[in-house]
Amino acid sequence: MTSERIHATMVRLGHAGVLLTGDSGAGKSDLAIRLIDRGGMLVADDQVILAAVGGVLYGDAVPGFAGRIEARGLGILDVPAAGRTRVTHHFALSNDPARMPVEEERHFCGVALPSRQIDARAASAPILVGMGIGMPPNAVL
């Protein structure tokens, strides 16, 4: 088993585990809150423990921080937590994502994930994340 702790936020959408990475202040927690509002569940906020087991990548919260998410202006909020979840997709938060991106992948703990850039500040960001993992635009996650 290979593991690492990274600066990221993770949400479970249906059966998909979505890893959100970006600089501090990029909007990881805000986007996660909007995904939770659409039916997603928080796996971890700010720090994600990743572990590869048999070529499958899993993410989980740091012990003692499950179900806790930072909301600017409100502080730390308690929300239901999904617990350990298979990571299936990666979204890198960017202020200027490519209009016509090239398919990319990113490796975590030696496991390749499909990776896309997204602007977390865009009103459509939660919808685009859902579409990026194969859900229809009106899907309740």
**Domain range annotation of the chain:** 2-132
Taking the whole predicted model, whether its pTM rises above 0.85 is answered as: yes
Per-residue confidence (pLDDT) for residue 31, from 0 to 100: 96
Query: What fold, for 2-132?
Result: Rossmann fold (3.40.50)
Positions in the chain whose pLDDT score sits under 50: none
Q: What is the per-residue pLDDT across 71-93, written as a single tens digit (0 to 9) for each? A: 988 989 999 999 999 999 999 99
Per-residue confidence (pLDDT) for residue 5, from 0 to 100: 97
Per-residue confidence (pLDDT) for residue 139, from 0 to 100: 67
- Calculate the alpha carbon distances from 32 to 43, 55, 70, 101, 141 in Å: 10, 26, 10, 23, 12
